[in-house]
Amino acid sequence: MLKKLVLASGNAGKLREIQQLLSPLDIEAVPQSAFNIAEAEEPHCTFIENALAKARHASLHSGLPALADDSGICVDALQGKPGVHSARFANINNSEPKSDAKNNQALLNALANETSRSAYYYCAIVLVRHHDDPQPLIAEGIWRGEILTVPRGTGGFGYDPLFLDVASGKTGAELTPEAKNKISHRGQALQQLIKKLQDLS
């Protein structure tokens, strides 16, 4: 069983969620910033390819196994957008810092004339045991819901204030971290990954 790995992310919200979900396994999860590792390029059009690129980059520069997540929101009326560009939907050319508030407003603007609000969060998680691991562990999760017309809640991050979990009637920003981790795309993917790790041990 792994004892230590590097988390290939600079997103504080993702790091917090992943560390919480891994804590029962007694795995020390260290953010890549602790090694002064810059964020990897994410040039690909799929979540899995971007997650793999980030994991290999972090493992190469840390010498440790690495776990990377690539995730985003996919809106049916927008043919799956923002998708892999979720973190920079308001400014895809990368000239400004990422902004959740601006991204949320950009999504509302894009859906202004749409009646269908169905959407889903998607997450791909990749674990490499070394940077050129020929058989990375890959897990996926999908969390279906709807996009509201006004944000609700103060928790979470990303598009959580606009993303309604229909079953609970709460947005991702209204759910407690524990409740969100049980049903979210990232929670699902990490539970899959944990099972794969346990099967290997």
Going 79 to 85 to 87 to 88, the CA torsion angle's sign is: negative
Active-site residue (options: 26, 69, 70, 199): 70
Going 148 to 175 to 140 to 123, the CA torsion angle's sign is: positive
In 3D, which of 125, 129, 131, 175 has the Cα closest to residue 22? 125
Residue 165 is a catalytic residue: no
CB 167 within 8 A of CB 186: no
Cα separation, 172 vs 154, in Å, equals 9
Cα separation, 54 vs 115, in Å, equals 36
Cα separation, 76 vs 92, in Å, equals 20
Amino acid, single-letter form, for residue 158: G
- Give the 3-state secondary structure of residue 83: helix
Q: Which residues are catalytic?
A: 70
